[in-house]
Amino acid sequence: MDRKTVSTGSPWEPVVGYSRAIRVGNTIEVAGTTAMKNGEVVGKNNAYMQTKWILQQIEETLQQLGAGMKDVVRTRMFVTDISGWEEIGRAHGEFFKDIRPVATMVEVKALIDPDLLIEIEAQAIVTDEDARLEE
């Protein structure tokens, strides 16, 4: 099976040894995504804005691999302050209210930048034959 990858072009990808996302067959895994753009935090001090921005980035990444948000079956949310769960959940719900993937939200001690409030991973399974990439 072909392995297709998406890269952000980050200098850390080859150093750490990871890809932004990988598609093998009909399965797509999207790496932990934060609200960073050009080295700056998007939505500083705002968990809702960070979550929306992250989910938009995940959506763009899925599209690059021939999928969409409708194909997401799992999200994992790592948050630095679980008391903000309602704002995070509201943003998540705006993208997934009709799709309703399984979701996990856990509080973590810290993320790579102290201004980051959330990091999200996603898994998608493409089942729509029209959306499949040529293999």
Listed by start position, the domains of the chain span 3-131
Is the separation of the CB atoms in 126 and 71 below 8 Å?
Answer: yes
pLDDT tens per residue, range 77-135: 999 999 999 999 999 999 999 999 999 999 999 999 999 999 999 999 998 655 444 44
- Torsion of Cα atoms, 106 then 52 then 42 then 30, to 10°: 60
Complete DSSP assignment for 75-123: EEEEES-GGGHHHHHHHHHHHHTTT--EEEEEE-S--SSTT--EEEEEE
pLDDT tens per residue, range 28-67: 999 999 999 988 999 999 999 999 999 999 999 999 999 9
CATH: 2.60.40.3950, 3.30.565.10, 3.30.1330.40, 3.40.50.2300. Which one for 3-131? Answer: 3.30.1330.40
Note the pTM of the prediction, 2 decimals. Answer: 0.91
Supply the pLDDT for residue 8.
83
